[in-house]
Amino acid sequence: MYILLMGPPGAGKGTQAVRLIEKYGIPQISTGDMFRAAVKECTPLGLEAKKYMDAGQLVPDSVTIGIVRERLVKDDCKKGFILDGFPRTTAQAVSLDAILKELNITLNAVLNLNVPSDELVRRISERAALENRDDDKPETVQKRLAVYEESTKPLIDYYRNSGLYVEIDGLQDVDTVFADIVTALEQ
């Protein structure tokens, strides 16, 4: 099962990814985890990424895409994966398509958890109080949502045209969202 999981910060991607991992026995692939692993393994791309990360800068697409490719060829991805946090832009989506074609992998679905902005702010505020996450502070939340709107939301149009795109109502309770995801995957 090859899944691309999309949605704004606070939509419930992490919660649903855990359930998908349990159900399908496939890894969740997140760019943050990949960067840390590539740095730890001292791969050439990992060392390149580390320069940007240490300077507090965004890792350029060329490095990010290379690290994604390195991760997707690992043995644990042979029977599937859940992509979470990549791609973030249409340019990255085009690069991902090329990688998947090269690896002879076809996505089963592109799932977008749709949640209105006011609900996202409420959820993230609650999460911030419970988990004390730096990226959930009010000023950071507004910036993250603005970045999502500007650069990631165009991916919806990109994938809507692919025939793989399924929008999931993220306002429903967690179990109903998961049931909708499984239904979308197993159609």
pLDDT tens readout for residues 25-61: 999 998 877 888 888 899 888 888 888 877 767 788 8
Please give the tally of structural domains in the chain: 1
Q: Which of the residues 13, 50, 71, 123 is marked catalytic?
A: 13
Active-site residue, 19 included = no
With a cut of 90, say whether residue 138 has pLDDT above it. no
Q: Which of the residues 79, 101, 133, 143 is marked catalytic?
A: 133
Residue 14's domain comprises 2-182
Instruction: Give the per-residue pLDDT at 134.
Output: 60
Query: Is residue 122 situated within a structural domain?
Result: yes
According to DSSP, residue 15 is labeled H
For the stretch 106-118, what's the b/e string if a residue is b when 16 or more beta carbons lie within 10 angstroms of its beta carbon? ebbbbbbbebeee
Q: Which of the residues 69, 127, 137, 160 is marked catalytic?
A: 127
Active-site residue, 123 included = no
pTM for the whole structure: 0.85
CA distance 177 to 62: 34
Active-site residue, 160 included = no
Active-site residue, 122 included = no
Query: Is residue 62 situated within a structural domain?
Result: yes
Distances from the Cα of 52 to the Cαs of 56, 62, 79, 90, 152, in angstroms? 6, 12, 32, 22, 21
Instruction: Give the per-residue pLDDT at 28.
Output: 94
Query: Is residue 187 situated within a structural domain?
Result: no
Q: Report the CATH number at residue 101.
A: 3.40.50.300
- Asked which of 15-24, 45-54, 95-104, 176-185 is least confident by mean pLDDT, the reply is 45-54
